[in-house]
């Protein structure tokens, strides 16, 4: 968990409107994880996901149309009626034109949409990073909503939207953790693939997938306990407008999580030159360095959208294990968690 000192750095930047570096090293206060490999920690400034305070900050809303199944072995939220189920599985055919859409990015990702569930394909880095992203999401949401992160369904009762869901590689595990999940994407092919894949597992078949933008859901007055947009903001045309829409989808005192790549020389060398051109983990041109956003810019954008940043963590690849780990090094990949001010 980010310490009070790191959060004060973020707040100092917002109040003084000047650059304050967030990349600092803080010890992990959780004694359960102090036995981690010390050499790895020193090299990569690694830390495990946040500890969970006991207090309850916000009670998540519960969809009244959903009831739990009677089977304790396969407890999951299911619609009461077939009509509701059809409504939740409805997939729109076209996404409306919006200021946050980037036509070039949409065309680029449409060309590789068929490979979403190929763990060795163009989305291999996301598959490898997913457990680390989920650990951070589970930790922060459980802390905020007063849930037990170690139970089988820690996100039970939460309404979560996965913005830019792609093929559903994040939406599905969120559903398995008990959340009522809505996944949206501007690419129709992604939504079709996500819907087909989710139907294979009863635990994920209730996910609502729609080919629609966040702005459109704002017009529909939809709101969620948690709004998540991972590796998306660097591909939109207007990051500030995009974040504003995410904030409007968040209930008062709800949570918002955004992850992306920092705009640094290290990120250019590692995420673009290394990952795209040398190692060829990603198709060339996947990321435009000038479109990347720094943690300070994310904090400012979220602040202007009434979202208070609570924690910023880095995600780094340990070359010795091939695993992604949470870190205090935000110079390449990072994830930010904030809460919406109770207006």
Known binding-site residues equal: 133, 164, 185, 230-231, 234-235
The residue with tokens 């310490």 is: 3
Helix and strand element counts for the chain (H, E): 11, 10
Between CA 250 and CA 224 the distance in angstroms is 5
Q: Which structure tokens are listed for 184? A: 């949206």
Dump the DSSP string for 210-238: E---HHHHHHTT--EEEEEEES-GGGSS-
CA 238 to centroid of chain Cα atoms: 18
Residue list, annotated binding site for Mg(2+): 231, 234-235
Between CA 104 and CA 6 the distance in angstroms is 36
Sign of the alpha-carbon dihedral angle for 249, 252, 254, 257: positive
Residue list, annotated binding site for S-adenosyl-L-methionine: 133, 164, 185, 230
Between CA 159 and CA 179 the distance in angstroms is 6
Element (H, E) at 124: helix 124-145
Contact 341, 263 (CB under 8 A): no
Contact 147, 176 (CB under 8 A): no
């Amino acid at each position: 968990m980010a310490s009070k000192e790191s959060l004060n750095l973020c707040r100092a930047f917002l109040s003084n409107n000047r650059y304050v570096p967030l990349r600092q090293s803080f010890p992990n206060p959780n004694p359960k994880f102090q036995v981690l490999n010390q050499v790895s920690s020193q090299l990569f400034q690694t830390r495990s996901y946040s500890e969970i305070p006991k207090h309850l900050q916000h009670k998540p809303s519960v969809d009244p149309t959903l009831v739990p199944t009677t089977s304790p072995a396969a407890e999951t939220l299911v619609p009461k009626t077939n009509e509701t189920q059809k409504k939740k599985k409805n997939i729109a055919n076209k996404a409306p034109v919006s200021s946050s859409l980037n036509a070039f990015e949409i065309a680029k990702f449409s060309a590789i949409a068929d490979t979403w569930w190929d763990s060795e394909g163009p989305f291999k880095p996301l598959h490898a990073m997913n457990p680390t992203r989920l650990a951070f999401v589970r930790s922060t949401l459980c802390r905020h909503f007063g849930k037990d992160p170690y139970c089988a369904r820690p996100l039970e009762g939460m309404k979560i939207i996965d913005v830019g869901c792609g093929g559903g590689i994040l939406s599905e595990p969120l559903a398995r953790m008990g959340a009522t999940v809505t996944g949206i994407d501007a690419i129709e092919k992604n939504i079709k693939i996500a819907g087909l894949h989710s139907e294979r597992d009863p635990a994920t078949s209730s996910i609502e997938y729609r080919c629609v933008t966040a702005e459109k859901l704002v017009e529909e007055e939809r709101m969620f306990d948690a709004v998540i947009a991972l590796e998306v903001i660097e591909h939109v045309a207007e990051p500030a407008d995009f974040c504003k829409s995410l904030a409007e989808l968040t209930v008062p005192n709800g949570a918002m999580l955004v992850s992306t790549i920092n705009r640094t020389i290290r990120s250019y060398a590692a995420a673009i030159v290394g990952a795209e051109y040398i190692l060829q983990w990603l198709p060339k041109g996947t990321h435009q360095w000038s479109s990347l956003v720094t943690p300070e810019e994310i904090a400012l954008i979220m602040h202007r959208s009434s979202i208070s940043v609570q924690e910023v963590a880095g995600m780094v690849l340990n070359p010795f294990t091939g695993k992604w780990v949470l870190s205090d090094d935000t110079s390449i990949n990072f994830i930010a968690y904030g809460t919406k001010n109770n207006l």
